[in-house]
Amino acid sequence: LELEAKNLDKKDTFGKSDPFLEIFKEGEGGKWQLVHRTEVVKNNLNPSWKKFTVPLHTFCSGDLEKPLKVDCSDHDSDGSHDLIGSFTTKVSELQKAVEFQCIHPEKQKKKKSYKNSGLVLVKSCKLEAQYTFLDYVMGGCQINFTVGIDFTGSNGDPRSPESLHYLSPDGLNQYLSALWSVGQVVQDYDTDKLFPAFGFGAKLPPDYQVTHHEFALNFNPTNPYCQGTCTPTDCRAVALPAAHRKPEAPVSALAQSVLAEVPNQLVTYFKMRGLNPFKQEAPAKS
């Protein structure tokens, strides 16, 4: 929703007005509930407010005919804001991009010649579907899990307990367990369960002379895939990268932290590319 105003009343003695809008929806018992407040536009009787987005349920409880009240006020630093004018509307009217008269009830009562205290115009009002991670998954979205492992010497000698790549007697470290924990969850969003795994910064057999900046962990560049995620004991020879997370963090916390980022990143990417979830057709009735 994007709004602007024209010819608002001057409320400040040594200036114009510092207008802002407050939008309310009608709640239980006819009480008005604040759903959005715009920013303040300083010293301007013809302000344009920034475009904003509010969930439809918050804005009007999902009812396009639900009464809304809009107050246009002059901002005062002490909190004693002065009402410029108000009007009532509903989402179905806002969608028509009409203009509304700001009416100050006291001025309307006192002056017979009173018309309004300015106009509020709708520059744009659009209803946009906000898809969730679940919407994309239900539409058939898959997540490809790729592993990249840093073998450079900056991580220290993997034989040393001080190294983040330390290979303990049982062949595990916290990063390895965290990677396995994440993979166990992510693999359920990939139908073929084939995950490419690469390394970089290592000198490879048989001569161990040249540092390779990208290589398949299974040494098969034409087919670098692993079938499913390995168990920690199967992966004991793998040294994980230092990453940016604290090594003393619990494995569960590391996995949860990584996984918590995935849904928002995926939804943000698809939204940026203008890609909506695929809608699967309902099965035909027999």
30-51 pLDDT per residue, tens: 899 999 999 999 999 999 999 9
Range of the structural domain that residue 225 is part of: 133-272
Asked if the model's pLDDT at residue 250 lies above 60, the reply is: no
pLDDT category at 160 given cuts 50, 70, 90 is confident
Phi then psi for 134, rounded to 5 degrees?
A: -65, -35
Residue 53 lies in a domain: yes
Question: Which residues, 6+ apart, have CB-to-CB distance to 143 below 8 Å?
Answer: 186, 189, 190, 262, 266
Asked if the model's pLDDT at residue 95 lies above 60, the reply is: yes
Q: Is residue 223 located within the same domain as residue 110?
A: no
pLDDT category at 246 given cuts 50, 70, 90 is very low
3-state secondary structure of 87: strand
Residue range 173-200, pLDDT digits in tens: 666 776 777 777 788 888 888 888 898 9
Alpha-carbon gap, residue 204 to 281, rounded angstroms: 51
Share of residues in the chain with pLDDT > 70 (%): 85
Domain boundary among 76, 104, 124: 124
Residue 12 contacts residue 5 (beta carbons within 8 Å): no
Residue 279 lies in a domain: no
Q: Is residue 57 located within the same domain as residue 99?
A: yes
Q: Is residue 145 located within the same domain as residue 257?
A: yes
